[in-house]
Amino acid sequence: MSAPQHRRVKTALDETRLLILGAEILFGFHLNGAFQSEFSTLTLHARALHALSFLLMAIVVALLIAPSLQHRLVDQGQSSTRIVRACAQFAALALFPFALALGTDLYIVMGHRFGAEFGAAVGTGFALAALTGWYLAEWLVRRPGEQVMHDEKPTPIDVRVEHMLTEARVLLPGAQAMLGFQLAVMLTEAFGALSPFSKGVHAAALCCIALTVILLMAPASFHRIAFKGQNTEDFHRLGSALVLAAAVPLAGGIVGDLYVAAAKALDSPAIGAAIALTALAALAALWLVQPLLLRAKYRH
């Protein structure tokens, strides 16, 4: 017998949580790496690849968080076949740039220490291994006859609250890791050499991520303190609003850090701004425009 639909949604969200934590830690590594003492000794080619890889990881984060925001905005926390399918589709899309970024990062660090040829071999090898393990192997063992159930009955409040709290947990660990990287960067010598504008952008990005952490931790606090652990419609609405609100400063923190690191890596504020605006466009499209269009479509 197929599992209830809400269990499928919970499983999909839990799988996304595993991916998003690794993605945001690697995102934080890119920020931290740009402020290491030997980063300036990298070739311009390697620093440009670092900026590109940073942008790829921002897109990965955007793709992996998109299903949770869709679940809040489009489905209002209801379990549905659509959100299960969306989780699978966004995860599949996110793994491709993830593999490219992983291979690029290995090429940069291995090439810096052991030579460009060795770095290229390691980076290419692991990128191909990731693509094989994440796409080809799954394609070979897929079960085309198995379908997701289409039970669209109203979801009980207990299940909707569980989903909402899970979505907060999806975002929280990565945001906390990013905050740690941001704080560490401010204590490096390289940060002191930045322009006043870049310092200000990084400070603003740090504050954005700190606000994100506060907002994502708030639902659990409200649940324990204000609602005494009871699952109610009021708590579900409040928690959903907090999760959605957290996406705004999270996007600001991602875009700000991307600008600072890219501008430093390439010694070009203009290129840094272009990369940051590209990430902003992707975040806005995936986290705001698409969910609102889908909500309008299904309501109509």
> What residue segments make up the domains of the chain, in order of their start?
5-299
Confidence of residue 1 (pLDDT cuts 50, 70, 90): very low
Q: How far apart are CA 58 and CA 62, in angstroms?
A: 6
Read off the tokens for 84: 């299960």
Read off the tokens for 184: 């560490």
Mean of pLDDT values over 20-37: 86
- Among 79, 209, 216, which Cα is nearest to 154's? 79
Q: How far apart are CA 285 and CA 84, in angstroms?
A: 20
DSSP assignment, residue 286? I
Query: What b/e readout covers 182-205, taking b as 16+ CB neighbours within 10 angstroms?
Result: beebeeeeebeebeeebeebbeeb
DSSP assignment, residue 39? G
CB-based contacts of 188, cutoff 8 Å, min separation 6: 35, 36
What is the residue type of 249?
A: P
* pLDDT tops 90 at residue 241: yes
What is the residue type of 188?
A: T
Mean of pLDDT values over 12-20: 78
Q: Which long-range contacts (CB under 8 A, 24 or more apart) does 229-232 make?
A: 231/157, 231/158, 231/161, 232/157
**For the segment 45-82, what is each residue's pLDDT rounded down to a tens digit?**
999 999 999 999 999 999 999 988 998 888 888 888 88
Q: Give me the pLDDT at residue 138, please.
A: 66
Confidence of residue 6 (pLDDT cuts 50, 70, 90): confident
**What number of residues does the chain have?**
300
Mean of pLDDT values over 199-221: 95
Q: Give me the pLDDT at residue 171, please.
A: 83
| pTM for this model (two decimals) | 0.88
What is the residue type of 120?
A: A
Read off the tokens for 281: 């466009």
Q: Give me the pLDDT at residue 20, please.
A: 83
Between residues 85 and 197, the one the model is more confident about:
197
DSSP assignment, residue 41? G
**For the segment 86-133, what is each residue's pLDDT rounded down to a tens digit?**
888 998 999 999 999 999 999 999 999 999 999 999 999 999 999 998
- Among 260, 291, 239, 292, which Cα is nearest to 30's? 260
